[in-house]
Structure 1
Amino acid sequence: MSSLKFGTSGLRGLVTELVGWPSYAYASAFFRSVAASSSVSRTVVIGRDLRDSSTNIAATVAFAAAAAGFKAIDCGALPTPALALEAIRRGACAVMVTGSHIPDDRNGLKFYRPDGEITKADEAAILAALGDIAKVGSMGPDFPATPEPDGIDRYRQRYQDVFSPDILAGQRVAVYQQSSVARDLLADLLAAFGAKVVPIGRSETFVPIDTEAHRPEDLAFIRDAMASGGFDALVTTDGDADRPLVADAAGRIVRGDVLGLITARYLGVDTVVVPVTAGSAVELAGGFHKVLRTKVGSPFVIAGMAQAKQDGAKTIVGFEANGGFLLGSDVTLSGKTLPALPTRDAMLPILATLAAAREAGVSLADLVTSLNVGETASDRLPNTPAERSAAFLQQLSQAPFRQNFFRPVGLPQSVDEQDGIRVNFDAGRTIHFRASGNAPELRCYAEAKSAAEAEDLVRWGLSEASIAMKAVEH
């Protein structure tokens, strides 16, 4: 199980190390830790993405559920937020088989309690329970679960019950279908709200769409698709449809945190929770009553939303730099209530962003420009062991070293040490170093007024970090 680990959202690893006994063990440990709570229904809803390995792993999860005394409900292939919604409806727990945006030779498990995603404490409980799981023999070829085909329709209805059927009237939208589990739902739902939809790029092999770190081939496909000038926007999602990707008419991808900012403003919320990697525009352009920043990862954002609610916030959302949007409270739109869904969702930010542009009577590009969000860049130093990153970050936490290190950039104005070291400078510039939670690498993020300056800051930061780490070793 060497590659299997909990990252920013769920368990992930190589398919060869997840199929069979390992997925049975992790699922069993989840059921054992969840079953400790008498308030939890002994029912689990199971969903999956369209990876080649997902159906087999989902069947293994169902066997583990049966062995743990849980009734398994098979929701089939559907978006992760749709499965979470079904779990909330039933008061059940849930397991989603998905590797999100990572390649097809990898997969993962996302675990849900009846009230939403598991916490970091729940992850620790699962790991603690692993050692007590007894190995089993053959689990058979069947899928021991009751079929439930309507979960995806209830998720669709969630939005049709609240949004006006003409919110996207006249919008020309290319839906890049690839292998997203929401590829048909996305096209159908946009058309139901009045958009002129053209599905493109459907694939029967898995395409690892990352909504934050874009592959060159994906960027080229999107630019080529928009070159005709026939579309106002292009939309798609990652593999399990909990992270959106939206591009404007010129094929420029709108940053995920900007999608979140537009959506939060469209919903009229007062409190926003974001990780430290989200851009400063959330505070500068948002107009929100409160902005709370957390460590990177949806469990931390969810914990932040819970804290905001405890502190008296009325309408709360969270979003990440990858575009995943979490609705932490009910919100009201035109007199209709959209219930809370405290897990990453791609559908809401896609709908709200396109609707906001149409409502304002401007192009998507002009809507983004009006927010003056600046530019961001990021990159990484691969093959950087965690101990090397930790030593460097420890140095940066010391003011004398930090000021000397950043002297070529300027005088640090403020520092955030929640997740790595994020330093704010003048003129809207920031540099943020953090160790990856999923891989042996040091990551660097930067903000600036121009894309070129942001990219220069990242290049400079990684070069100097490499020099500093080598100096420590010698």
Structure 2
Amino acid sequence: MARLFGTDGVRGLANRELTAELALDLSIAAAHVLAELGTFAGHRPRAVVGRDPRASGEFLEAAVSAGLASAGVDVIRVGVLPTPAVAHLTESLGVDLGVMLSASHNPAPDNGIKFFSRGGLKLADEVEEAIEARIGEQWDRPVGVGVGRITDLPDGGAQYIDYLVSTVPNRLDGLKIVVDEAHGAAFRVSPEALRRLGAEVVEIGVQPDGLNINEGCGSTHLDLLREAVLEHQADAGIAHDGDADRCLAVDASGEVVDGDQIIAILALTLREHGKLAKDTVVATVMANLGFKIAMEREGLTVIETAVGDRYVLEAMRADGLSIGGEQSGHVILLDHANTGDGVLTGLHLLARVAETGKPLGELAAVMRRLPQILINVKGVDKSRVHSAMQISDAVAAAERELGESGRVLLRPSGTEPMVRVMVEAESHDLAESIAHRLAGVVRETLSVV
């Protein structure tokens, strides 16, 4: 049986792969494992449960709440809120467990379950494995006063907004901002936080109906945001995904500002204010080479991790670092949050614009993105990608051709029989030519057809 937990919880097609029964069983197993680890020792356990606006989130929320309550856990439902809001409330309310129902940037038919431990941290791999191993086991069910109770927290969003605003060092007066909330979980909290800080806000993607989340909008579809920024002559645009753990931006001219550029801007801001721990930033192996060149030019150290914000967080916590993230817009500001928070990131990015009086495009020019071509080669034996001599020779030849002005990365997919071929170069044509050449070698060498 394939492992249920991926790099970001359990995901699947709702009501086919991710069923109410599975959600119930996962929640019961999580309660049992955490109890045995001593998480609930000496007190009655409590959990926060939140969701994004997907239609399937309604029945999955009911199943998760029922599972936890049946295992003796008191449940606090916070309704539709971003994933980082659930993580924050898990910490601020002092509860033992947080559960978020969302498939992030995936389309509406998908959904997912993500667990947070006390303090709003993602569960360790070994804890997820233990939960998975306990699904469907026989157990002694509590009765009477032993069963959990389910209550609602109607002001959870207000508490989260209060916290977000408290972290921002200066106001945003005079800025006109377009926000695209992807018809997702931040459709209320993000515009409200911006207005509280003095920005003039134009909203798009704020009419969730349970089925339109991420549909042609949000951080994975930036065309609507670019058009709106230009139409309204705004200073900048901010886009989130369905659960608002990502943030991408658009400058006043309509140019995209990606996660690498946002991290670069915020890292230099932190250093200027004496808050960048060890003058170091964490990024994944997929970060643009231009980011690394810029950070080295500025005297900052870059630590690389595997792809996935959980690995970024692990590296940050291990070394006591301040900032890290991914090109996709997952940015972790560890002084303020234990997970990627798109709303928090957007507020701090715009605070830098307001503080300096410089346009976002000028701030983003601290780094130049090298052309990056990514080709997914499907239907191949990914296990041999780093051992096949033909591929090693082809990569070596490509690296000689690129010299120090480019790079090659071949990465097997974590979930599919696929190899990702990524090439960066000084020119788009050169990157594209080498990427297609390497993809052809991978396809010819590793094909399983």
Counterpart position of 1:182: 186
CA RMSD of aligned residues (A): 2.8
Partner secondary structure for residue 66 of structure 1: helix
Residue in structure 2 matching 1:404, options 393, 406, 428: 393
Answer whether contact 2:183 2:206 (CA < 8 A) is retained: yes
Moved more, 182-191 or 363-372: 363-372
Does 2:2 correspond to 1:7?
no
Answer whether contact 1:173 1:232 (CA < 8 A) is retained: yes
Residues 212/373 of structure 1: CA separation in 2 closer, same or farther (3 Å cut): farther
Answer whether contact 1:211 1:237 (CA < 8 A) is retained: no
Moved more, 355-364 or 68-77: 355-364
Answer whether contact 1:100 1:238 (CA < 8 A) is retained: yes
Counterpart position of 1:335: none
Does 2:328 correspond to 1:317?
no
Answer whether contact 1:101 1:210 (CA < 8 A) is retained: no
**Where does 1:407-446 land on structure 2 (aligned, <5 Å)?**
408-411=397-400, 425-446=402-423
Q: CA offset at residue 73 of structure 1?
A: 0.7
Distance in 1 between residues matched to 2:199 and 2:90, nearest whole Å: 30
Counterpart position of 2:269: 266
Q: CA offset at residue 260 of structure 1?
A: 2.0
Q: Deviation digits for residues 438-460 of structure 1, max 9, x if unmatched?
A: 44432222323344544444333
Distance in 1 between residues matched to 2:126 and 2:215, nearest whole Å: 29
Residue in structure 2 matching 1:97, options 91, 96, 101: 101
Q: CA offset at residue 401 of structure 1?
A: 4.4
Distance in 2 between residues matched to 1:133 and 1:172, nearest whole Å: 57
Distance in 1 between residues matched to 2:268 and 2:360, nearest whole Å: 15
Partner secondary structure for residue 423 of structure 2: strand
Does 2:316 correspond to 1:305?
yes
Residue in structure 2 matching 1:346, options 339, 342, 345: 342
Residues 131/452 of structure 1: CA separation in 2 closer, same or farther (3 Å cut): farther
TM-score (norm 1): 0.82
Distance in 1 between residues matched to 2:73 and 2:248, nearest whole Å: 36
Q: Deviation digits for residues 317-372 of structure 1, max 9, x if unmatched?
A: 221222112233x3xxxxxxxx4x22111022212222223333332222222323
Counterpart position of 2:65: 62
* Residue identity in the other structure for 2:424: E
Q: CA offset at residue 303 of structure 1?
A: 1.9
Q: CA offset at residue 62 of structure 1?
A: 0.7
TM-score (norm 2): 0.86
Counterpart position of 1:111: 115
**Where does 1:67-82 land on structure 2 (aligned, <5 Å)?**
67-82=70-85
Counterpart position of 1:369: 365
Answer whether contact 1:25 1:133 (CA < 8 A) is retained: no
Moved more, 168-177 or 60-69: 168-177
Distance in 2 between residues matched to 1:50 and 1:439, nearest whole Å: 28
* Residue identity in the other structure for 2:61: A
Counterpart position of 1:38: 38
Does 2:127 correspond to 1:122?
yes
Answer whether contact 2:29 2:135 (CA < 8 A) is retained: yes
Distance in 2 between residues matched to 1:68 and 1:122, nearest whole Å: 18
Does 2:154 correspond to 1:149?
yes
* Residue identity in the other structure for 1:327: L
Answer whether contact 2:250 2:256 (CA < 8 A) is retained: yes
Query: Can you give the 5+ residue segments of structure 1 that lack an aligned partner in the other structure?
Result: 137-142, 310-314, 331-338, 413-424
Distance in 2 between residues matched to 1:451 and 1:308, nearest whole Å: 36
Distance in 2 between residues matched to 1:122 and 1:105, nearest whole Å: 28
Moved more, 45-54 or 279-288: 279-288
* Residue identity in the other structure for 2:25: A
The number of residue pairs the alignment matches comes to: 427
Distance in 2 between residues matched to 1:426 and 1:135, nearest whole Å: 64
Answer whether contact 1:432 1:444 (CA < 8 A) is retained: yes
Answer whether contact 2:222 2:239 (CA < 8 A) is retained: no
Distance in 1 between residues matched to 2:140 and 2:247, nearest whole Å: 39
Distance in 1 between residues matched to 2:203 and 2:433, nearest whole Å: 37
